[in-house]
Chains A and B, each alone.
Chain A
Amino acid sequence: MSALTIRNLKKTYGNGVEALKGIDLTVEQGDFFALLGPNGAGKSTTIGIISSLVNKTSGQVAILGHDLDRERALAKQKIGVVPQEFNFGQFEKVFDIVVTQAGFYGIPASVARQRAEKYLRQLGLWDKRTNQARTLSGGMKRRLMIARALVHEPDLLILDEPTAGVDIELRRSMWDFLTGLNEQGRTIILTTHYLEEAESLCRNIAIIDHGQIVENTDMKSLLEKLQVETFILDLARPVTAAPELSGFLVRLRDATTLEVEVPKTENLNRLFTELAEQNFQVMSMRNKSNRLEELFVRLVEQNLPGQAAKQEAAS
């Protein structure tokens, strides 16, 4: 049984905007799944429909085998949602927010209090339990929403940009926390704008754009599709022109920095040999951008209406 099954899901808003044009998606149990897409692609609408905050126009959604139309209460019991925007009472106390959420799931107060303590401690918020939510920092508010989403111990956890606006140290600790949850058997679906985050955490991925799934595969296969990687090379001495290297496209960014496009068919040893032959000394090297980011940009660009027309005209 899959954790999430979506079939031909469509959503057209009242103003005529077609947010989803019939998407199909399957997320297996225990997966750490990335749902990526540019702003306005349909990610939040999809999550809104799964979490019953948005009415769908047509299609089917099932959570752990429970159809959202026929067994909505059972489906909701299995899912925890961490939304993009802060959506708790700003004047309520941290502890009360988590305990109250448990109450909405029918969990008795004594159990709710124990679980609230457990998750607030795990997320480093126990010391803030009597504070009003509005007094928390942005990162703490995000962690509060995670604690709240976990209090009924759902099998499927959906996080919509959980690390937006969170500093690097905290982001790393949240990654560790989410990885731990996934290792315990929880299925996690993540949307994020930090593609490094998706690449390092998720095993499978779907990219949504203009209301359609443009890619849905495992992370390894997706990254293998990357035909060219771009590297930045820092040189020991300043140069005035980029070297001519056969098989590599080289640009001079500034006097001591080269940008080199390396096709997947070429190996880096030959690049360094040729550079050494031309007296270029490389001090350090790094990827220009994250590999997933390069692929993402290419896939989304391909899907642009103008781009598609250009490609059609060219062919």
Chain B
Amino acid sequence: MSSYQQWVAFYTIVVKEIRRFTRIWPQTLLPPAITMTLYFVIFGNLVGRRIGDMGGFDYMQYIVPGLIMMSVIQNSYGNVVSSFFSTKFQHSIEEMLVSPMPNYVILTGFVVGGMARGMAVGLIVSILSLFFTDLSLQHFWITVSVVVMTSALFSLGGFLNALFARNFDDISIIPNFVLTPLTYLGGVFYSLDLLPDFWRAVTLVNPIVYMVNAFRYGVLGVSDVNVYASLGAILAFVVVFYALSLWLLNRGTGIRG
């Protein structure tokens, strides 16, 4: 295939993915908007008033970046894992496998589709947060870089999950039992300074801590961890996950007999 044909194929997958999650917006875009609004009202407003300051900001301001990041992570992952597994389940993956499109185009198309949903939800949640607090970006490019790389990383995670999944249970295990606890314990709702030394050390093993803090640095200008090390680590994970996904796709793992 020529470069132009590959571009057309890539664009086709991305459009198909965006069309899918916008067609089923009550399942994809509406729930995070409602959930996050509830977080803003209950944790940020009602409970937050009693908590007072966190990291030098009022509690609402402090948790907004974390909640935006949580939305991006969950939706990027959720889009690719459900979309790619559905194509496997309905065998419509065969439409792509019989075509001359290279595997990296398939992978990149799904990942960009996942990023689109993650960032669309992130944008919706950001707009909703403006009803509850003021947000001003302290470091624009860091904010954008973190969102782009994090959504890419969790889209790749969703892709890997879907590749190995054999049934619908397999695509809910990791989001429910791994992703959600890591996100809640990833410094979304509290500063790591509140933790005793031991638990702080344990928390630093959680990769989501670095993403949440790097994003918070972009928005508020404060972070519990080194921001540039965080960006480097996220990028390294993206490269490793992409290479692993492509290798598995080329082998036909989970998709070819």
Contacts and interface: CB of A to CB of B under 8 A. Distances in A.
A13 B252 CA distance: 14
B9 A105 contact: yes
Contact of A106 (B2, B23, B90): B2
B92 A53 contact: no
Nearest to A88: B92
Contacts, number: 87
- Of A72, A100, A106, A152, which is in contact with the most chain B CB atoms at under 10 Å from its CB? A106
Contacts of A55: 252, 256-257
Contacts of A107: 5, 8
Given A48-B257, A76-B100, A89-B92, A106 B16 contact: no
B90 A90 contact: yes
Given A53-B257, A54-B256, A89-B87, A104 B94 contact: no
Contacts of A76: 98-100
A108 interface: yes
Interface in A46-105: 48, 51-55, 72-74, 76-77, 79, 81, 83, 85-91, 96, 100-101, 103-105
B174 interface: no
A186 interface: no
Given A48-B257, A106-B4, A88 B90 contact: yes
Q: How many residues of B sit at the interface, in one of the four size bands?
A: 20 to 34
B256 A85 contact: no
Interface string B22-44: 01000000000000000000000
Interface in A227-241: none
Given A100-B12, A108-B8, A73 B256 contact: no
Contacts of A54: 256-257
Interface in B68-107: 86-87, 90-92, 94-102
A106 B4 CA distance: 7
B257 A72 contact: no
Contact of A87 (B23, B90, B99): B90
Nearest to A99: B12
Given A53-B256, A79-B98, A81-B98, A103 B9 contact: yes
A103 B257 contact: no
Given A55-B252, A73-B1, A73-B102, A104 B91 contact: no
A104 B101 contact: yes
B97 A89 contact: no
B11 interface: yes
A105 B95 contact: no
B90 A89 contact: yes
Nearest to A86: B91
Contacts of A103: 8-9, 11-13, 15
A143 interface: no
Given A85-B91, A87-B91, A87-B92, A53 B9 contact: no
B143 interface: no
Contacts of A152: 99
A104 B12 contact: yes
Given A87-B91, A87-B92, A89-B87, A106 B6 contact: yes
Contact of A73 (B92, B100, B252): B100
A108 B87 CA distance: 23
A74 to B, nearest CB: 7
A115 to B, nearest CB: 14
Contacts of B12: 100, 103-104
Interface centre among A53, A104, A105 (most CB of B within 10 A): A104
A76 B1 CA distance: 10
Contacts of B96: 104
A77 B100 contact: yes
Given A48-B257, A77-B100, A100 B16 contact: yes
A71 B96 CA distance: 17
A148 interface: yes
A105 B23 CA distance: 24
Contacts of B9: 103-106
Contacts of A86: 91
A183 B227 CA distance: 67
A246 B13 CA distance: 71
Contacts of B6: 106
A54 B13 CA distance: 22
A45 B257 CA distance: 9
A45 B97 CA distance: 15
23 contacts: A48-B257, A52-B97, A52-B98, A52-B256, A55-B252, A55-B256, A73-B100, A73-B102, A76-B100, A81-B98, A83-B91, A87-B90, A87-B91, A88-B90, A88-B95, A89-B86, A91-B23, A96-B19, A101-B95, A103-B9, A105-B99, A105-B101, A109-B8
Interface of B: 1-2, 4-6, 8-9, 11-13, 15-16, 19, 23, 86-87, 90-92, 94-102, 252, 256-257
Given A83-B94, A106-B5, 7 more contacts: A45-B257, A72-B100, A79-B98, A91-B23, A104-B12, A106-B2, A107-B5
Q: Which 10 A-B pairs have the closest CB atoms?
A: A106-B5, A103-B12, A87-B91, A104-B99, A73-B100, A76-B100, A54-B257, A106-B8, A87-B94, A51-B98
